[in-house]
Structures are given as structure tokens and as C-alpha cells.
Structure 1
Amino acid sequence: MAVVLWFQVGNAEGDIYTLTVPELRCVSKVHAFKYKIDLLHCSPDMKWIFASGMHQNILPRVFFTERLLKPLEGESPQSLSIPFSSCCRACWAPRKTSRITVMYRRGSSRKTGFTTFDLITERTGDRTVIQAQQIATFLLPLHMESPIWMEAGDGNLIIFESGRYLFVFTISGHQLQRFDDHQRTIGSLWADSLHVLTTSMDDSLHVYMWEEEGRYPYLKSCCHLESIGSCLAPSCSVSKAICDNISIVCVVSKIQESRIQEPSILVMYSLHM
């Protein structure tokens, strides 16, 4: 039996398209918002789709993937609005696949907060009802520089940058770890269930690994790679990095000194831990 692959994309009109791979056949189209869709994340078990825009009037929505893949004629796909506007990031917990943490900014001071929900489904007759149970929320102290990036840990932890520092917090707001491995502001953050990577405008990359010990997993600093771009081209920086158990792949981008678009370079490292 053939396995049908699919993915979702959002557009500036607030529509979500579900397309097959590789044919790009449209399975369904849903009008989710009146504004542009900036965030679209599928849960690790592919059961849920989180969608949101960064417009202050948008409430994020979670869709039941089954109804996007097999839409019923005349019925809107099942979804649930999450009551937190001004969403700027969101991520699913890799080990608790129905748990999502949302990062948002509120008020004139633009305070940054994090709120975590568990999604639950209940059968009512022939219909599945989606519910979101808020399990934790907190605001960052005002003295902390507002983060741009965030990732989830085991389901009870979140990782985010603040300036040149990397932090590990519990979802209820307790700080567990702080790292200062970069000399300049962290420019990107990536994580999976095993690794965490950070890159900085100082043209460096740092690799961490999760260790299981005690009540919570903790991050162990593993290695630091400096001047990745300078050995390839002048005035370069690492703009993004991802990895698996075998290798690390970095995108090295030229620092823009003019409006001329410069090509990026892919750099790969063999990973031996």
C-alpha cells in the first residue's frame, strides 16, 4: 500500500493549503485568519497543526490534521483558538506530542511570556471535540532582553536566547541553566530531542547535548566552533545550523554591506560524540 506524504503551507491571505508530495496536489484549503500566516508547525506525531500570525489581533489556532487530510464536504475542519494574542513563537514538545508552548509579547513594555497547553480530544457522538488545558504560564523579568528564538525540551523545559546568553527554564518559569559561550548576540537556535545548536554574529557555533539526570534533563556543553565563515569568505557569519547523530550542517551567509544579494554557503561537519 502506497504511503501518501503531505505538508502544509500558509499564505498572506490567511489560507492554509494541504498538499501531497511530490505531486503538490491540493487536498484541502482552509481560511484560518484575516491576516498573514507567519507560523505553521506540525506536531511530532502529525496529529495537530498549529497556525498563527504575528498580528496583535490574531488568536493562534490548532487544527486536527485528520480533517485537513480528509475534509468532509460542507464542514469546516475541526480547530481550536488558543486565547493568547501577539504570538511570536511556538514549539511542540518532542516527547509529549500534544503539548505546545507559545511565546508572546504583551503590553506597552512588550513583556515576553510563555504559556503551555496540553491538547485533548473527546468523542461526542460522531464528532471529535478539541480542548486546550493550560498547564503553565510565566513572564520573563523586565531586565532580561526579549528572546527571538525558543525551543522545547522534554515537555517540561524550554530553551531560549537572551542577548548572548542561552537559558533553560521550566515551563512554570524556574531558571535551571544559563550559558555564555558566545561573545556576541545569539542569532539562531535549533533543537531536537538530543542536541541544541546556537550560532552567533561572532561567527561561531556551539553544540550542546541533553543529559538525563535528576528531576529534569540538563544541557551539557560539548564543543565550540569559531570563525566558521572566515575561512571560506570574508565578512561571513553562521546564520543557521542543524544536526543529527552523524553530522552538523551550517548555512554561512555574507554580512550585507550593500543591497546586493550574496549567495550563502553550506558547510558540513562530521559529528563524533
Structure 2
Amino acid sequence: MELQLPDLVILRIFSFLDVLNLLQAAQVNRQWNRLSENNYLWRMLCLKRWTFCAFSDEQLGTRTWKQFFYRQVRQEPLMALAKPGDFTYKEVAGNIGIIKSIAYLSGSGLSVDGLERSVICGISSKHKFYAWDVQKGTMIWESPVQSSYIKLMTTLPQKHLAFTVDMEGTIKVWNCSDGDALAAYTMSQRCYSMEAFLTKGGPFLMVGDREGGIYTFTVPDLTCISSVNKLRYPVELLVCSPNQKWIFACGYDEHVFPMVFLTECLLKPSKDDVPLSLCISSPWCWRACWALKKTNRIAMIFRRDSSRRIRFTTFDFTTECLVGQTVIQAHEIASFILPIHMDAPNHFGINDGNMIVFENGPKLFIFTINGLLLQEIRAHQLNICHLWVDPVHILTTSMDNSLHVFMWEKEGRYPYLRNCCQLEQVPGDQKPSCFPPKAICDNMSIVCVVTKCRNSSILVMYSL
């Protein structure tokens, strides 16, 4: 007699399957076919592939998550197959000052309503905050002049919100449509880092200050719900894991040891409990990056050790119950030291949890987390000055006026990078940049900020 498992048991088993295996399971019988259409399963598959599409079922509208998944898979190859002539070029110049940083406000092009529209925002040396429509190449909003220089910016594309911090420690929330900020909060100390993220309980903002404090705010009203001070030095790096379970914090001082916090302890603090955290006993952490597809894994760059070499170390984090108490456990998965002739990279990414990509001079390198060199690509004539890494694309820029687009490909045991196309940062203008150009992208556009003179930047926008 055939044994029929309960729906909940099968759904639990199906949650461990990838797309191919789930589609194969759907062909077994009617029950499995019905359960393989479950919206939760396909939402999890979407989040694994595109960590930035963490919007709600209501925002998805009438479509299912399976339909959304297929639509995005069809859209991805457009960038991979595109040639320079396939892009529409727009350029924004004028009296916008020096644009220090830019970010997507539109959910990285993963629109849920079928209206592909990329919106970016950026902070300017003119004490202003701007937003642009990439496809039209036009400015769609600008803030009033702020009383102090805007130092930091981050966005929450799922909610179409942006956050800024100025030199006086004033945090502001913007929707880039109303004239002024939705809310403001002034810190007692100067802010050094900030991170916005969306959880099941809603959106939150975390800020690290000069004295080692980490403050958590509700969004958009900026109500402070918790504060913790364990670093005692400036919190210069604050990064939330893709599944929002972990918060990584560190500073660049030799006396600072990196720390990992359980996010829920900072979001629902108790007066009697100390937020659950773990100190990593290695100072001089220079950079850290969560794995894009293995959400409890982080890779760190340590600048100095006894041999003065650059070291990559990868950890997995878990929570365990020991003697009736929950603790965070750090498991060192791998570690390797870069060759002595290689400097510490300024940018790097870890894709599937086992591959590290970073720049060094004019080249891109891919290593396994155990130190096996898999790929070396000379991307530019001059040194790479900015590297953008997401689950699908990699962009590199240099002072040589070129912008390279790469995409991850899977063939055999390890993924590799395929060079898709090369674009000019400012077509026809070979004048050197005054500051390192930066580029970001989504599934249908690329934006590069270039500064050819010392008082104003140029925004170069390529869209499909």
C-alpha cells in the first residue's frame, strides 16, 4: 500500500530543493504537483537568487511567486547578451556638485508591477540629496539644502526609502518625492556607519557611532528601540546578513575585535538581557562580506598578523542551546593568506559561499575560500578603483574611462566570470577623472558616477 505523507511534511522536504529538483518532484503525482506550486516555496527560491526582492505578497499583486521567478529568469540574460549598441545612453551633468555615493531606490529593477523603471539617488557636496529616473535620464527630485554636509547614505528599495546622516549626526528618512524628510533624529555622537533592512516585523535602521554604540530605529518614524555599546571604538563597518538574522560590526582600529549580533535581540530588547553577541578574536578586520547565497556565512579580510600578510577567513554562524542558554557559535570554515606581492583589496564579494572575487591592481581574481586561484582576469589598463558585486553581475571601473560588465556563469564544479561587454564611462571623453568612478547596476540598467572636474560630477546612465 502506498504511503501518503501529510502536506506539511512534504512542504518541509520541498523547502530544501532547488528549482530543477522541485520541478522534477512536481511530475511524481497530483499531490506533489499541487504542493510544488506553493507560494512560500517559490518566494524562498526568489530570495535565494535575488536577496533584494524581499517584498510582501501584497506588493506582488495578482501574480504568484513562481510567475515572478520565471519572469526574472527571462530578464537576466538581457544584460549578459547585451552589446554596447543595445544600451540607451543618457548623461546627467550640470550644477549637481560632487556626487559622493549612489544607490538604487527602485528595488534593483525587480519591479512587481511590470513597469520597469530604475530610480537611483545620491548625496552631493552641495549639501543636497537627489533622485534620478535612469531610463529617462532626468532628475525627478531634489532635497532642500541641508545645514550640514551629508556624510552617509543607504536605501531600503523594498520600501522606496532612503536614509542619510550628516556631519552633525542628524539621521533623516526620505521617500524622494516629498519636499522634506519624513523623519529626523539627531545622535549625540558622530555616525560612522548605517544599515537598513526589512524583516517580517517591519523595516529597521541601524547606526554605528564614534563611541562604539549601535542604535536600532524603527522606520520611518525613527524611534530608537535599542542601543548597545560593546566595541568602544568607532563602528566603521555595519553589515546585515541577507536573511537579516545576523548583524556584523567592527572598526578599523587595531584594538577592535569584530562582533556578530543576533538581529532579533536588537529588535526586541529586554531590559534584563544583554543582546546576544559573539566577539571574533582577531583584530585588524579591514573588510567583511556576507555570502550572497549562504546567508549564515561571512568572509573577512584581516590586514595584519604576525607575518604582515593579508588573510581571508570565512566563518559560519549558528545558535545553539548550551546549559539552558542560547549562544552564538562561530565555526571557522576556511582561511588563506594572499601571496606576498598582493595588496589588501578595497572591494570584494563572496558569491555562493565558496567563491571570493576581488580586485588587485588592474586585475580581477577569483579564489575559493580555501585559497585555490580559479580565475585571473586583466580587466583594465589601469588599476581597478571600484568593484560592484551582486548575485548576478560584477562591474569594474578604473581611471582609464572604461567600465566592464561581467556575469557569473556555472559550468562544472565552480562558477566563473564571463566578460560580457565593455562600456565607456563617458563616451568620447578621454579626459582623466579627478576622483575614482563608481558604477552600480540592476537587471536593466547601469549607472556610473564620473567626476571630470573638481566641482561637479557626471552621471552616466545605460539602460536596456
Q: TM-score, normalised by structure 2?
A: 0.54
User: Residues 180, 172 of structure 1: CA spacing in aligned structure 2 closer, same or farther, 3 A cutoff?
Assistant: same
Aligned counterpart, 1:62: 260
Q: Can you give the 5+ residue segments of structure 1 that lack an aligned partner in the other structure?
A: 257-261
Give the distance between the partners of 2:428 and 2:321, measured in 1 at CA.
58
Partner of 1:265: 458
Which amino acid in structure 1 is aligned with residue 458 of structure 2? I
The number of residues matched between the two structures is 266
**TM-fit CA distance, 1:234:** 7.0
Partner of 2:233: 35
Deviations 1:182-221 (A, max 9, x none): 1111111111111111111212211100011111111111
- Select between 202-211 and 44-53 the one with higher mean Cα deviation: 202-211
Contact 1:230 1:236 in 2 (8 A): no
**1:22, distance to aligned residue in structure 2 (A):** 1.5
TM-aligned CA distance change 1:135 to 1:255, over 3 Å? farther
* Match status 1:214 vs 2:412: yes
Aligned to 2:202: 4
Deviation at 1:71, TM superposition (A): 0.4
Bigger drift between 126-135 and 56-65 goes to 126-135
1:85 paired with 2:283, answer yes
Structure 1 residue 123 corresponds to structure 2 residue 298 = no
**Alpha carbons 2:399, 2:433 under 8 Å: kept:** no
Going from structure 1 to structure 2, the CA distance change for 1:255 and 1:143 (only over 3 Å counts) comes to: farther
Q: Distance in 2 between matches of 1:120 and 1:167?
A: 30
Measured after TM superposition, the shift of residue 20 of structure 1 is 1.7
Counterpart CA distance in 1 for 2:432 and 2:337 is: 40
| CA-CA distance at 1:55 after TM superposition | 0.4
Give the 3 Å change call, closer, same or farther, for CA 225–109 of structure 1 in structure 2: farther
Aligned to 2:115: none
Moved more, 157-166 or 229-238: 229-238
Query: Which residue is equivalent to 2:296?
Result: 98
SS at match of 1:145: coil
CA distance in 2, matches of 1:143, 1:255: 34
Distance in 2 between the 1:168 and 1:74 partners? 46
Deviation at 1:76, TM superposition (A): 1.4
Contact 1:197-1:205 at 8 Å conserved across structures? yes
Between Structure 1 and Structure 2, the one with more strand by share is 1
Q: Is the 8 A contact 1:228 1:237 kept in 2?
A: no
Cα–Cα, structure 1 residues 159 and 234, in superposed 2: closer, same or farther, change >3 Å? Answer: closer
Same amino acid, percent of matched pairs? 54
Contact 1:89 1:103 in 2 (8 A): yes
Q: Contact 2:405–2:421 at 8 Å: present in 1 too? A: yes
Bigger Cα Rg: 2
Distance 1:133 1:3, change over 3 A: closer
Matches within 5 A, 1:1-273: 4-107=202-305, 110-124=308-322, 127-228=325-426, 231=429, 235=433, 239-254=437-452, 256=454, 262-271=455-464
- Spell out structure 1 runs of 4+ moving beyond 6 A: none
Q: Which amino acid counterpart does residue 87 of structure 1 have in structure 2?
A: C
CA RMSD between the two structures:
2.2
How far the C-alpha of 1:135 sits from its partner, in A, is 0.7
Letter in 2 for 1:32: K
Task: Tell whether the 8 Å contact from 1:18 to 1:27 is kept in structure 2 after alignment.
Answer: yes
Q: Cα gap change, 1:90/1:234 in structure 2, threshold over 3 Å: closer, same or farther?
A: closer
| 5+ long unaligned stretches in structure 2 | 1-57, 59-199
Secondary structure of 2:303's aligned partner = strand
Q: Name the amino acid aligned to 1:269.
A: Y
Q: TM-score, structure 1 length as denominator?
A: 0.90
CA distances 1:143-199 after superposition (whole Å, capped 9, x unpaired): 223322111121000011111111000000000011112111111111111111111
Give, in angstroms, the shift of residue 267 of structure 1.
2.4
- Aligned-partner Cα distance in 1 for 2:269–2:275: 7
* Bigger relative contact order (CA 8 A; separation at least 6): 2
- The verdict on how the C-alpha distance between 1:233 and 1:183 changes in structure 2, with shifts beyond 3 A counting, is closer
Q: Distance in 2 between matches of 1:231 and 1:24?
A: 44
Change (3 A) 1:123 1:161: same
Per-residue CA deviation, residues 28-47 of structure 1 (Å, 9 max, x unaligned), is: 11113111111110000000
* SS class of match (1:148): coil
8 Å contact 2:401–2:430 — kept in the other structure?
no
1:80/1:3 CA distance change after superposition, 3 Å: closer
